[in-house]
Chains A and B, each alone.
Chain A
Amino acid sequence: MSDLNKLTIGAARDALARGETTAVEITEACLTEIEAADALGAFVHKTPEIALEQARAADARIKAGEAAAMTGIPLGIKDLFCTRGVPSQAASRILEGFRPEYESTVTQNLFDAGAIMLGKLNMDEFAMGSSNETSVYGNAVNPWRRGNEDTALTPGGSSGGSASAVSADLCLAATGTDTGGSIRQPAAFTGITGLKPTYGRVSRWGIVAFASSLDQAGPMTKDVRDAAIMLTAMAGHDPKDSTSRDLAVPDFEAALTGDIKGKVIGIPKEYRLDGMPAEIEKLWEDGKAMLADAGAKVIDITLPHTKYALPAYYVIAPAEASSNLARYDGVRYGRRAKLAAGDGITEMYEKTRAEGFGAEVQRRVMVGTYVLSAGFYDAYYNRARKVRALIKRDFEEAFDQGVDAILTPATPSAAFGLGEMADADPVQMYLNDVFTVTVNLAGLPGISVPAGLDAKGLPLGLQLIGKPWEEGDLLNTAYALERAAGFVSKPEKWW
């Protein structure tokens, strides 16, 4: 077989089962591609020795007839996941040199299912960003380009390296994490599938924390079937994460019938933004028509508090981040600043955090500190949590009316150029997450599916939002949308 790195998880699994290829062959194909793709800035710590060792073990397991769902599948792992003995620094200078003594539950689950780690993937520092431009490693680059231009485009963020690597076929799939859109927005920007599960479906243990009430890990894959296979392997109750739900994990792949006859799809009018590009509008219209043609009933719904989701998010997420990131103090792990004679412990904290954190992380930690400080806690933090309750209630009311899934655009635009937002107000960058952030605030599952190209040939994604714990049904609707959209374009190789 050729082009083994281009396989989907499903196709690789079937080929491995038939003995048409080996895990070592697939892994070597990916490692070769990774070596030739430094221009994409996707893999920031390569682990070929671990990968080949795991691949040999996978081949032995397949030979013994003991293959599990992901046995022999090479993956990229976002740098936010702690992986034993392998640098795991959340793309931050402050975690320079940190090598965890433990394995995150998600990566352990994937390894238990036989998956292979090719290396760690670029991201925005501490997952704070929408363009992968806040990484200490430098930018990850989108494999897609505008027509014949050679402008370097963002793969989105924060899971930019994951998106770039999957889109460029450097790996079969990758892990991502999503706090406000960090799986779905980069997936949309790179023409791949990205799923954020229901809050509590996947353990957060061993994943560097950003905003604990919003963070959720999920698969970033080449198609919807792969998202179903990989989620099944990632998910499950974990006693080490008190917010992980003790609920059986269904076989999500078995839910993919493609039959959505009679399903009710809600179209929220509040997602029609002023000044939304005509191409996004058209994509959304096309999506509605595809689901209607497949037998779904498409209805208009209202989610009245949508407008307040981003402002609520930019109170809650920084507040939680300021608490979570208090642990980076130069004492227990990572970097400590060089101190001057006479410097005490306060100077050690302040200098370490000033040189260890990048500008965006510093900004968010300080905004979080402010909204939690005495005198402002009620006005900002408690008010935001109340608005969050209203945002969740909006969704509950829609689902109570019989809505099975909600269709929206995934992003307000196609991928933009790296550096193009450099002079913009931070708030402008935050608007990238306008369609995705509501889903985190309400704890719902959401998936981005590539559905078309813009006039310049860049991929655009549609988002489907499902009911809590109904990832199977959501994936099936996404599968129907994927089949109708028939998105098969790939970026032309320039790297």
Chain B
Amino acid sequence: MSIDIETARKVAHLARIKVEEDRLPALAAEFSNILDFIEQLNEVNVDDVEPMTSVTPMRLKRREDVVTDGNYQDKILSNAPDAREGFFAVPKVVE
């Protein structure tokens, strides 16, 4: 399957990765190559096969829905590029 430049631009935006216009043709070509490789999967008969959800069949453990952790705001914020007054700071989101 061939990926066009418009699709490459759309995927880059969905992935929230800025790709310069002049890089898009090369990116589209790389995607096309990888997708050609993946297309081999169409040769496989997967009728009546359930998609795998867990590689080792097991029931996930359950626990009481209670707070077991917390109260370390300073640690949570210690690696933030911009933290102010106990919050993560980001550019203006709403005009």
Contact = CB atoms under 8 A, between A and B. Distances in A.
Contacts of A199: 55-56
Nearest to B92: A344
A345 B90 contact: yes
B88 A389 contact: no
B10 to A, nearest CB: 8
Nearest to A381: B51
Interface in B1-52: 3, 7-8, 11-19, 27, 30-31, 33-35, 37-44, 46, 49-52
A148 interface: no
Interface in A365-391: 365-371, 373, 380, 382-390
Interface string A465-479: 000100000000000
Contact of A314 (B8, B37, B78, B88): B37
A200 B31 contact: no
A343 interface: yes
B15 A308 contact: no
Nearest to A350: B18
A369 B17 CA distance: 11
Nearest to B12: A366
Nearest to A344: B91
Interface in A407-445: 425-427, 430, 441-443
A389 B57 CA distance: 12
B41 A387 contact: yes
Main secondary structure of the interface of B (DSSP, over half): loop
A308 B55 contact: no
Given A354-B17, A369-B11, A442-B55, A101 B34 contact: no
Contacts of B43: 308
A380 B57 CA distance: 23
B79 interface: yes
A349 B6 CA distance: 20
Contact of A333 (B3, B63, B79): B79
Given A329-B16, A468-B56, A311 B37 contact: yes
A369 B51 contact: no
Nearest to A199: B55
A167 B46 CA distance: 43
Contact of A315 (B16, B18, B38, B91): B38
B49 A389 contact: yes
Nearest to B83: A332
Contacts of B13: 350
A305 B52 CA distance: 15
Contact of A335 (B35, B72, B81): B81
Contact of B58 (A245, A362, A380): A245
B55 A101 contact: no
A387 B18 contact: no
Interface in B68-95: 72, 75-76, 78-82, 88, 90-93
Contacts of B49: 386, 389-390
Interface string A325-356: 01001111111100100011111111101100
Given A311-B39, A322-B15, A383-B46, 18 more contacts: A101-B78, A315-B41, A330-B81, A332-B79, A345-B91, A347-B18, A362-B17, A365-B15, A369-B11, A369-B14, A370-B7, A370-B11, A370-B35, A373-B11, A383-B44, A385-B52, A387-B41, A468-B56
Interface of B: 3, 7-8, 11-19, 27, 30-31, 33-35, 37-44, 46, 49-56, 58, 60-61, 63, 72, 75-76, 78-82, 88, 90-93
Interface of A: 97-101, 198-200, 213, 239, 242-243, 245-246, 305, 307-308, 310-312, 314-315, 322, 326, 329-336, 339, 343-351, 353-354, 357, 362-363, 365-371, 373, 380, 382-390, 392, 425-427, 430, 441-443, 468
28 contacts: A213-B55, A245-B56, A308-B43, A314-B34, A314-B37, A333-B80, A336-B81, A339-B91, A343-B91, A344-B93, A345-B92, A345-B93, A353-B15, A357-B17, A362-B19, A363-B34, A366-B12, A366-B31, A380-B38, A383-B46, A385-B51, A386-B49, A389-B49, A390-B44, A426-B33, A441-B55, A442-B55, A443-B56
